[in-house]
Structure 1
Amino acid sequence: MDAKISLILAIESSCDDTACAILKNDQVLSNVVAGQEIHTQYGGVVPELASRAHQSHIVPVVDQALKKAGITKKDLTAIAFTRGPGLMGSLLVGSSFAKSLALSLDIPLIDVHHMHGHILAHFIDIGLERPQFPFLAVTISGGHTQIVKVTDYHEMEVIGTTQDDAIGEAFDKSGKMLGLGYPAGPQIDQLAKQGDPKKFPFPVPKAPGLNYSFSGFKTAVLYFIQREVKKNPNFINENLVDICASIQYTLIKILFQKVEKAVKQTGIKTVAIGGGVSANSGIREQLKSYENIGWNTFIPPFEYTTDNAAMIGISAYFKYLEGYNAGMDVTASPRIQM
């Protein structure tokens, strides 16, 4: 094989999705994801059940990714995996499989930070413009809400983060209070399109600097619902779309107040979002609106927003170009920092 061509098999198993992708340099040949429906009945991810499901999913998912890419494991030049952050049991399944495969093929093993993957997903070659360094990345998911200053493929500095809960959890927990199923975020997004976003005003929590706080918002939603339902037992059903619209409007306001502040402080007007919550239509529309005041904005394709292995593969690709090899002593790290 041409020395300039890399074929990287990437594995993502940080939470409840078992994913495998094959990348030829910066192009995705296959991107397979197996979800875990079992968690819906519990209203959230159960770590023990997640790790067990990964064990049953990982072999067929890897096999399918290789077949879709039209290659065999002998064609691979490196194996990549998510080192963290995430659920320890889930991470161990992916890291152990990746180590074994890399060892058996005698090829480099590349560990990837999960959030780096979300940020670098913008550099997958799909024929669109890519962010120019430096830029601000806003990572928004069920477990993270961060503003990151990105100087190059490997130099990233968190300049703002949540002090308690993530925005994705605020969406899901608010939806649970309304009787919506898990995950509630996408349902709120759909219902919000039919409602009045200013019908019910919710408070915007204060947090120092560029940091976030969402726990107070969840408490405010809870007390609001309890108060109104006490007065009218049918309040939720009669006002569901307006409640959802008001919740979404406020969460977007909380998010972008700090992003605006970060742009002003850094002077960087290139902003890219990533993570599962970046699929939210209201967030996407709000970000695009800033182009009217001179921002350059970047939104990932839907298939690269939620957890997937293609984003792990592209992050690994830039490490591979520098000759990186993690070695067999690398370990999963559920609380690894950026």
Structure 2
Amino acid sequence: MLLSIETSCDETAVALLDPTSFESDLGGIVRYEAISSQAELHRPYGGVVPELAARNHTEVLGPMVEEALGQTGLSLADICAVAVTVGPGLKGCLLVGTTFAKSLAYRLGVPLIPVNHLLGHLAACDLRPPSERPAFPRVTLLVSGGHTALLHTENERRLPTALAQTRDDAAGEAFDKTATLLGLPYPGGPALSHLAASGDPAAFELPRGVAADPASFSFSGFKTAVRRIVEELATAHALDTRRSDVAASVERAIVETLIDKTRFHLQSVPARSLILTGGVAANKLLRTAMSELARSAGVDFHTPPLVHCTDNAAMIGAEALQIRSRKSAAFASWEPRATPTHFLGPDVSATLGVRPRWPIEEGWNIPQ
């Protein structure tokens, strides 16, 4: 079994994956997975407090691994490799997971596979049997709390290339900031979407980012415009009656911005699959719009199950198994120093570090 660990932000997650099933159509790739959310811990602060997040990871990670083994009837001896997110993310949180994974892999004498969190999101759709996975070339819209990127992947042995990336603030941040301005509880995205369902999406006109720059997603000016609207409504004592209209207008503007940029690039690169992934992929309006875009473009639409859209360890395991299947040099093993030419790459486990900022284009470069 492959044990995978994810602690990049405010979810502690572990999973056990079967490497043999990953290569066959028999299914059963994910033998076990669990996620411990810190939403209640951070709710009083209206956002993630890095120090509290790291401490909570320290408290729950070990017991979660024990629970995973207990629930599956497995032992440490059944673990053939350990995969862990080493970036991007919050440094303290990444260090908790990476230190635990390094210690366990060293104790067991099994390979340690460092994984880029963003590549993990891209691998979430590959937790299906091979015959059901999205065909290449792929265009993927990755939308999470801190990242918005449109990516093109030619095949499974090539890193994705960025068609458009976040210039300043991500779409998820725009959702969260609006929720805060409207006094909605943390986490703000789901609460905003719920409120938007009863509002008028045409009530307020909002900017659509940098239309002149197809390679950028920008929501900083968007957030400023939303704040101005909220302040004007509050001054006029009209905010309480117009909250849902603000929410609906914001949701529509963000979704249209993402769809317009995706449509533009989908016409310029070869693609057989259009994928939506990341935490914001749970938004129903965005999922529907992406599905319609794929249909009009004549490509297949894919999105992971909701549990695999948000941060989870199963997707980290999927990327780790792909690293193994590629025999990629992005691999750290506890092979003896006497065999530095191991086909999976050099032994860098003892010096493996974390990388809070790790561009997806460099996702196979091992942080040290």
Class of the TM-score when normalised by the shorter of the 2 chains: over 0.9
Are the counterparts in 1 of residues 165 and 215 from structure 2 also a CA contact under 8 Å? Answer: yes
Q: 1:34 aligns with which of 33, 36, 40?
A: 36
Q: Secondary structure at the match of 2:35?
A: strand
Q: 1:304 aligns with which of 303, 308, 325?
A: 308
Q: Distance in 2 between matches of 1:143 and 1:292?
A: 28
Aligned to 1:23: 17
Worse overlay, 265-274 or 54-63: 265-274
Q: Give, as a single letter, the amino acid of the residue that structure 2 aligns with 1:66.
A: L
Q: Secondary structure at the match of 1:40?
A: helix
Q: Secondary structure at the match of 1:209?
A: coil
Are the counterparts in 1 of residues 209 and 222 from structure 2 also a CA contact under 8 Å? Answer: yes
1:126 positional shift: 6.3
Aligned to 1:179: 183
1:77 positional shift: 0.8
Q: Distance in 2 between matches of 1:63 and 1:190?
A: 37
Alignment pair present for 1:143 and 2:146: yes
Q: Distance in 1 between matches of 2:69 and 2:225?
A: 48
Q: Give, as a single letter, the amino acid of the residue that structure 1 aligns with 2:282.
A: A
Distance 1:250 1:127, change over 3 A: same
1:295 positional shift: 2.8
Distance 1:75 1:276, change over 3 A: same
Alignment pair present for 1:332 and 2:354: yes
Identity of matched residues, %: 39
Q: Distance in 2 between matches of 1:128 and 1:229?
A: 54
Are the counterparts in 2 of residues 121 and 311 from structure 1 also a CA contact under 8 Å? Answer: yes
Aligned to 1:209: 214
Aligned to 2:4: 10
1:134 positional shift: 1.1
Alignment of 1:254-273 (within 5 A): 254-268=257-271, 270-273=273-276
CA offset digits 1:49-69 (Å, max 9, x no partner): 111111001111111222233
Q: Secondary structure at the match of 1:333?
A: coil
1:242 positional shift: 1.8
1:190 positional shift: 1.3
Worse overlay, 257-266 or 68-77: 68-77
Distance 1:126 1:282, change over 3 A: farther
Aligned to 1:166: 170
> How many equivalent pairs are there?
330
Are the counterparts in 1 of residues 17 and 31 from structure 2 also a CA contact under 8 Å? Answer: yes
In the alignment, structure 2 segments of 5+ residues that lack a partner are 23-28, 333-347, 361-368
Q: Secondary structure at the match of 2:132?
A: coil
Q: Distance in 1 between matches of 2:302 and 2:326?
A: 26
Q: Distance in 2 between matches of 1:127 and 1:83?
A: 26
Q: Distance in 1 between matches of 2:294 and 2:276?
A: 14
CA offset digits 1:132-164 (Å, max 9, x no partner): 111011110110000111123352112210100
Aligned to 2:233: 228
In the alignment, structure 1 segments of 5+ residues that lack a partner are 1-6
Deviating above 3 A after TM superposition, structure 1's stretches of 4 or more consecutive aligned residues are 322-325
Q: 1:317 aligns with which of 314, 321, 341?
A: 321
Superposition RMSD in Å: 1.5
CA offset digits 1:155-207 (Å, max 9, x no partner): 21122101001111100001100111111110111122222211222121215
Are the counterparts in 1 of residues 42 and 49 from structure 2 also a CA contact under 8 Å? Answer: yes
Q: 1:157 aligns with which of 128, 147, 161?
A: 161
1:119 positional shift: 0.6
CA offset digits 1:269-314 (Å, max 9, x no partner): 5210111110111111111112431232111101101100000001
Are the counterparts in 2 of residues 263 and 269 from structure 1 also a CA contact under 8 Å? Answer: no
Q: Distance in 2 between matches of 1:31 and 1:127?
A: 20
In the superposition, the TM-score normalised over structure 1's length comes to: 0.94
Q: Give, as a single letter, the amino acid of the residue that structure 1 aligns with 2:284.
A: S
Q: Give, as a single letter, the amino acid of the residue that structure 2 aligns with 1:316.
A: A
